[in-house]
Chains A and B, each alone.
Chain A
Amino acid sequence: MKPSPVIELNGVGVSFGGKAVHHDLSLRVEEGQIVGLLGGSGSGKTTLLREILGLLQPDAGTVRLFGIDLNEPDVDRQRNLRRRLGMLFQQGALFSALSVFDNIAFPLRELRCLDADWIRRLVHLKLAMVGLEPAHGKLMPAELSGGMVKRVALARALALEPELLLLDEPTAGLDPDRSQNFVELVGSLQRELGLTVVMVTHDLNTLAGLATHVAVLADQRIIAFGPKAEVMTVDHPFVTGFFGADRRKLL
């Protein structure tokens, strides 16, 4: 049986105030792939993730997740769909009124099935996974450093260990050590749980260490998608500019 695509975008088009950001964009991500999404600043990577999440309705085309159209009217199916994905926002987007602990516990509590002890263990597990100490659980988001915000947001995105993980610049603002930890963490989760990951990143080390596939966003569409080695040979100014001298490092 051929695995069904986790993400399927078909002919998606979006424009803001008459300026097209995406035009006739198509992308198909299969189960278990870790896709690195590349593109220049302002090329519409975050916008693409927002479309995949259904936060932004495209003007044209369809978005399907796990084979389900995002315009499906059934509320229950929609909610179940949302539980299968986790998102790390570029700015963290932690709930500013909740402590770190409560931020991570939030999606777990929303299930209304887990008892307090279970949630507490899971939250501390997630904190440990992203390299934070239990004592950090008491802090409020405003009391965190930029990199800590990123890690807490990652822990929250991982709270349900969702099948599809969307990461917007997960390693921006982390020191190289932490980036390496992140690469190992997501890698091992992927092996254990068969996650599908789409991540926006400009960091070549993260890309080299983690991504199985690369998608390149330029000229308002995905100009190249495929295994890392294949995409690097694509002849497009952005691709040659981006990988440039570092092509060897990626392989």
Chain B
Amino acid sequence: MSTSPRLLVEPGRVVLSGCWTLAEMLPQLPALEAELVACAGHNEWDLSAISRLDSAAAVLLWRTWGARWPVGLVADDLHRQVLERVADLPLEIAEQARPRRRFPEMVGALLLKAVGNLRGMIALFGQLLLDVAYLVRHPQDVPWKEFTANVYKAGAQALAVTALVGFLIGVTISYLSALQLKSFGADLFIVNILGISIIRELGPVLVAVLVAGRSGSAMTAQIGVMRVTEEIDVLSTMGISRTIRVVLPKIFGLTVAMPLLVLWTSAVALFGGMLAALLQLDLSFAYFVDNLPRAVPVANLVIGLSKGVVFGFVIAIVACHFGLHVKPNTESLSASTTSAVVTAITTVILFDAIFAVFTRNIGVP
């Protein structure tokens, strides 16, 4: 029984009829608005033939009348009520102004944020030390279950993907180096190149990038959602420390899992390199394995594994810091997860450079 809204201009007055609701107006909105604007000067309005009037239509009429009651208005009480509700609104509704930022302000804000994050991470590190001190005195509170679960999630479940990536990188590097070495007749140096680059540098960094994307983002998202749904607060009300139960197992879990992953990935990458060397340069596995210890001093392995420990710790602490600072909305959750991964990878590369500077005289034959 709904009929489209209609507007009739009779001499001296405007007669509206039909169903003045948003749904009915939509198909012919531009035409209606134009007609109303044309009638804006009239003072006599007859709304008695309207069957329905919703607030969207009331706002439209009120705007047409220039926010004043027309002198001659005929309308049902019901419809007058709707119009009155619109009329009662404050005249000028302030627009929600969004402050515009200038370039220097943006740079400053970014810097302040970075400093804030750094402070947050240092505070988290301090809290971690306090928690460890507490756990040493109360060994029964050590969250073993959460710790092992994290080692399993971040370590064991990442074995397949790290192996695949490591293998492919090993093959690629070996293949490309072999092409160059062949042209110099220095085939045998492939062992040195692969050994040093993978064990000392590529293995740890590769795993760190993969783990930051895989486990780092998961940690931030998990802690973040726990904040959004107030689960973190529930833990506090139960007297359970959120850092001991949630953050600490994650950080130590990843710190333990990372060097193991580095060892595993480096081994698989070396295997890939050996395979490519066999196919490309006819270098036998036995020769490769025999010469590896001679070409690569064991110090390199120690450096690689310590990088693993440090990177794991850094990734986890960055991820947890961002997770704990998620604001309770979806936008902040996604922004924090992105920041966590980006910051973790950047920090890892930074630490890698620091490692390179301080170990420049160690392990190079």
Task: List A residues 81-138 near B (Cβ within 8 Å).
Answer: 83-84, 95-97, 99, 101, 111, 113-114, 117-118, 120-122, 124-126, 128-129, 134, 137-138
B133 proximal to A (CB < 8 A): no
| Contact B54 A193, beta carbon cutoff 8 Å | yes
Inter-chain CA distance A134–B52, complex, in Å, is: 27
Known interface pairs A128-B89, A129-B85. Does A192 touch B329 (Cβ–Cβ under 8 Å)?
Answer: no
| Contact A96 B228, beta carbon cutoff 8 Å | yes
Which residues in A have their C-beta under 8 angstroms from that of B54?
Answer: 161, 192-193
Known interface pairs A137-B96, A192-B79. Does A122 touch B55 (Cβ–Cβ under 8 Å)?
Answer: yes
A15 proximal to B (CB < 8 A): no
B294 proximal to A (CB < 8 A): no
Task: Flag B35-76 by CB within 8 Å of A: 1 or 0 each.
Answer: 000000000000000001111100110110000000000000
A204 proximal to B (CB < 8 A): no
| Contact B56 A118, beta carbon cutoff 8 Å | yes
Q: Tell which of B21, B26, B327, B329 touches A161, judged by Cβ atoms closer than 8 Å.
A: B21
A44 proximal to B (CB < 8 A): no
Q: Nearest-CB distance from A65 to chain B (Å)?
A: 14
B78 proximal to A (CB < 8 A): yes
Inter-chain CA distance A95–B333, complex, in Å, is: 13
Residue of B nearest to A141 (CB): B329
| Contact A96 B53, beta carbon cutoff 8 Å | no
| Contact B96 A101, beta carbon cutoff 8 Å | yes
| Contact B330 A96, beta carbon cutoff 8 Å | yes
Inter-chain CA distance A120–B96, complex, in Å, is: 10
Q: Tell which of B23, B88, B328 touches A128, judged by Cβ atoms closer than 8 Å.
A: B88
| Contact B89 A192, beta carbon cutoff 8 Å | no
A188 proximal to B (CB < 8 A): yes
Task: List A residues 135-179 near B (Cβ within 8 Å).
Answer: 137-138, 140-142, 160-161, 163
What is the predominant secondary structure among interface residues of chain A facing chain B? helix
B331 proximal to A (CB < 8 A): yes
Which residues in B have their C-beta under 8 angstroms from that of A129?
Answer: 85
| Contact A97 B329, beta carbon cutoff 8 Å | yes
A191 proximal to B (CB < 8 A): yes
Inter-chain CA distance A128–B59, complex, in Å, is: 14
* A residues at B contact (CB < 8 Å): 1, 3, 83-84, 95-97, 99, 101, 111, 113-114, 117-118, 120-122, 124-126, 128-129, 134, 137-138, 140-142, 160-161, 163, 188, 191-194
Which residues in A have their C-beta under 8 angstroms from that of B1?
Answer: 1, 3
**Can you name 13 A-B residue pairings with CB atoms under 8 Å?**
A84-B23, A97-B329, A111-B22, A114-B56, A118-B63, A121-B62, A125-B85, A125-B89, A134-B90, A141-B329, A161-B55, A192-B54, A194-B52
B165 proximal to A (CB < 8 A): no
- B: number of interface residues (CB 8 Å): 35
| Contact B90 A96, beta carbon cutoff 8 Å | no
| Contact B55 A125, beta carbon cutoff 8 Å | yes
Q: Tell which of A121, A188, A191 touches B93, judged by Cβ atoms closer than 8 Å.
A: A121
Known interface pairs A83-B23, A96-B328, A101-B96. Does A125 touch B86 (Cβ–Cβ under 8 Å)?
Answer: yes
| Contact B89 A193, beta carbon cutoff 8 Å | no
Inter-chain CA distance A140–B21, complex, in Å, is: 30
Residue picked from B55, B78, B96, most chain A C-beta under 10 Å: B55
Residue of B nearest to A160 (CB): B22
Task: Flag B18-35 by CB within 8 Å of A: 1 or 0 each.
Answer: 000111001001000000
Q: Nearest-CB distance from A97 to chain B (Å)?
A: 4
Inter-chain CA distance A120–B63, complex, in Å, is: 13
Inter-chain CA distance A125–B60, complex, in Å, is: 13
Which residues in B have their C-beta under 8 angstroms from that of A188?
Answer: 81
B10 proximal to A (CB < 8 A): no
Inter-chain CA distance A160–B93, complex, in Å, is: 20
Inter-chain CA distance A96–B90, complex, in Å, is: 28
Residue picked from B59, B88, B228, most chain A C-beta under 10 Å: B59
Q: Nearest-CB distance from A193 to chain B (Å)?
A: 6
| Contact B329 A96, beta carbon cutoff 8 Å | yes
**Known interface pairs A83-B23, A140-B329, A193-B21; 9 further A-B residue pairs with C-beta atoms within 8 A, sorted by A's residue number:** A96-B329, A96-B330, A101-B96, A121-B63, A121-B89, A124-B89, A125-B59, A163-B23, A192-B81
Which residues in B have their C-beta under 8 angstroms from that of A121?
Answer: 59, 62-63, 86, 89, 93
Which residues in A have their C-beta under 8 angstroms from that of B22?
Answer: 111, 160-161
Residue of A nearest to B29 (CB): A113
Residue of A nearest to B331 (CB): A97
B105 proximal to A (CB < 8 A): no
Which residues in B have their C-beta under 8 angstroms from that of A120?
Answer: 93, 95
